[in-house]
Amino acid sequence: MFRVRRPIREFFSIMQKMWKKISLKRLLLVAFLAVLFTVNGAFWYLRFFGKGPQQPQDYSAPKEWEINLNEEKIPDKAEDEQEVEQEPAVEPGRESAEPVPGSQDIPPADTAEVKGGEKTAEAGVVEAFAGNPSTMAMPVLGKIITEHSSDGLVYSKTLEQWCVHKGVDIAADTGTPVKAAMAGTVVEVRNSDPKLGVVVVIDHGNGIKTLYGNLMSDNLVQKGKQVKKGDVIGGVGKTAPYEIEDPPHLHFEVLKGTESIDPRNFLPDL
């Protein structure tokens, strides 16, 4: 009887040891799969849901030697200021003594009528100020990558949403010279605009202003400086936090008072 029980005990002992080994391997396998699924789940969660707000790059103005404009700084001389061709200011209620070429038969901007008898600032300005298609010079040569949109919406890659766009974005290489579209006076120079980075604003009289954003540097012109049509006022950069995902470009706006107008109405074959 003793001899019969001993093999049975040995058999159960061997089976118990084998089961322990199998259980340990199974436990290790389960633990490995759990870790694998956890890491995989975390990866895909961060991939699709973990994109936080993008931090803009360092937008501090670059050194002057970093600007490759191949242009000299605009000279600050009295005779140059005298040579600037300023458009005559129009007093309230009176017309300019020298009408804009091609607009003799066109009513002033504040009396221009559109269909249905309604008035819009854009219709009046385009007729009275831009009767000549070459009223403004091209601030930079390049392809438009974002259109003007005051009523409709355009998609912003940076903000990842649809929004209005008050100007046009003209693509050009970093450092490409940006020129004044018309003669006027620099009324604003911003080196850290929260939306457009480095910005220069020029007043052309009659309520018309042009805005140049996403510039490389703000050290080529100063507030109060008078510039001529075609003078270099900056270089194309990549400083606009709201447009940082777009390639290097000039953000160009035309303003009548506080209302933005499509720059295509003023520029030749843009």
Q: Are 211 and 252 in contact (CB under 8 A)?
A: yes
Among 30-39, 69-78, 184-193, 200-209, the minimum mean pLDDT is found in: 69-78
Summarize pLDDT for 20-51 with one digit per residue, the tens.
Answer: 767 777 778 878 888 888 888 887 777 766 55
Model confidence at 8: pLDDT above 50? yes
Which residues neighbour 246 within 8 Å (Cβ) at sequence distance 6 or greater? 145, 146, 157, 158, 169
d(CA 123, CA 138): 21
Delimit the domains of the chain by residue range: 1-51, 64-91+98-265
pLDDT, average across residues 160-188: 89
In angstroms, rounded to a whole number, what is the distance separating the alpha carbons of residues 209 and 143? Answer: 22
Exposed / middle / buried, residue 236 (Cβ in 10 Å: 0-12, 13-18, 19+):
buried
SS (H, E, C) 41-94: HHHHHHHHHCCCCCCCCCCCCCCHHHCCCCCCCCCCCHHHHHHCCCCCCCCCCC
Contact, 154 vs 113, CB < 8 A?
A: no
Q: What is the share, in percent, of the chain residues with pLDDT greater than 70? A: 61
Model confidence at 102: pLDDT above 60: no
- Give me the pLDDT at residue 110, please: 40
Q: Residue range 91-104: average pLDDT?
A: 43
Burial pattern 70-100, b for ≥16 Cβ within 10 A else e, equals eeeebeeeeeeeeeeeebeebeeeeebeeeb
User: Which has the closest alpha carbon to 210: 156, 154, 129?
Assistant: 129
Q: What is the pLDDT of residue 115?
A: 38
Return the pLDDT at 270: 52
Most confident of 47-51, 71-75, 180-184, 238-242: 180-184
**Predicted confidence (pLDDT) at residue 93 exceeds the cutoff of 70:** no
CATH class of residue range 64-91+98-265: mainly beta
Q: Which residue has the higher pLDDT, 135 or 199?
A: 199
Write down the pLDDT at residue 255. Answer: 92
How do residues 135-171 score in pLDDT, each as one tens digit? 789 999 998 888 888 776 777 776 667 777 888 899 9
CA distance 37 to 192: 46
Kindly report the pTM of this predicted structure: 0.52
Mean per-residue pLDDT over the chain, rounded: 72
How are the residues of the chain apportioned to helix, strand and coil, as percentages rounded to the nearest 5? 30, 25, 45
